[in-house]
Amino acid sequence: MFSYRHGFHAGNHADVLKHMVLVQLLKYMLQKDKPFWVVDTHAGGGLYDLTQGYATKKAEFETGIAPLWGRSDDAPLPVADYLAQVRTLNPEGALRWYPGSPQIAAQMLRAQDHLRLYELHPTESRLLQQHFAEVKRGVSIEAADGFAGLRAVLPPPPRRGLVLMDPPYEDKNDYRKVVAAVREAQQRFPSGTVAVWYPQVVRPESRELPRQLQRLAGESWLHATLSVRRPAADGLGLHGSGMFVYNPPYTLAAALRPAMPWLVQALGQDEGAAFTLDGRAG
């Protein structure tokens, strides 16, 4: 149950897609003065050192953030915005620190906004607590199941908010739990933005999840996928990922339109590299 550690995968191509979209969602919400909450159901450790520990075992960041690091001059705006958040942690120019979703949100949120983090893994939760130990306000952390935690926090007090769901999916029950959590989030907080990340792996649950998510979609949704290679012959490994966003900003599709083919060119590993971008404006 507790085998997954995001440090093994920090900064990979799936993180690039997830965090690029996250930055755009936050950027849009920050345009209004009214406060909002960000709820992260599977927060991880918050910050990852790419030069030691788990991140060096498979060095997955070499297929994600690393090829983009020196390309800010020609990067489309959403990629450049994302890279700027990573550069905040690496001011001397060398790529060492990679921010998880909580750190990106913490960097972008204002004093009036609030970050609510859930992490069930005991080690990851402890690291998350240590990472934000000096933050006196604006961040709440619970060592708890984020899916269950949504019931207590939705709708958030300011009635503006973003929910990010990105479980590890090592347990196939996570696919079922995501669908149930999205359905409940829509009932409790119909005006909220909900972003779901999912892996593209050779598993029937992975292929079925986006179809289930679309069946839950109303009048406003966006679905983006980034595949960097064709599926492996042995069926192992992550060949891509997707982001499904409910109630996305009306600007998001137009922002991602030039960014997705650029990422295919920058991160593609073989002829299986591709993207999709679909949605409906409310």
Q: What is the DSSP letter of 62?
A: G
Q: From CA 173, how far away is CA 122, in angstroms rounded?
A: 20
**Whether the Cβ atoms of residue 130 and residue 152 lie closer than 8 Å to each other:** no
Exposure letters 84-93 (e unless 16+ CB within 10 A, then b)? ebbeebeeee
Burial class (CB in 10 A: 0-12, 13-18, 19+), 157: exposed
Q: From CA 151, how far away is CA 162, in angstroms rounded?
A: 14
CA distances to 111, 114, 210, 226, 227 from 75, in Å: 30, 30, 28, 16, 19
Q: From CA 48, how far away is CA 252, in angstroms rounded?
A: 28
DSSP 120-185: -SHHHHHHHHHHTTT--SSEEEESS-HHHHHHHHSS-TTS-EEEEE-----STHHHHHHHHHHHHH
User: Smallest Cα–Cα separation from 275: which of 79, 105, 82?
Assistant: 79
Give the CA angle between residues 10, 245, 146 to the nearest 5°. 60
Write out the catalytic residue numbers: 166
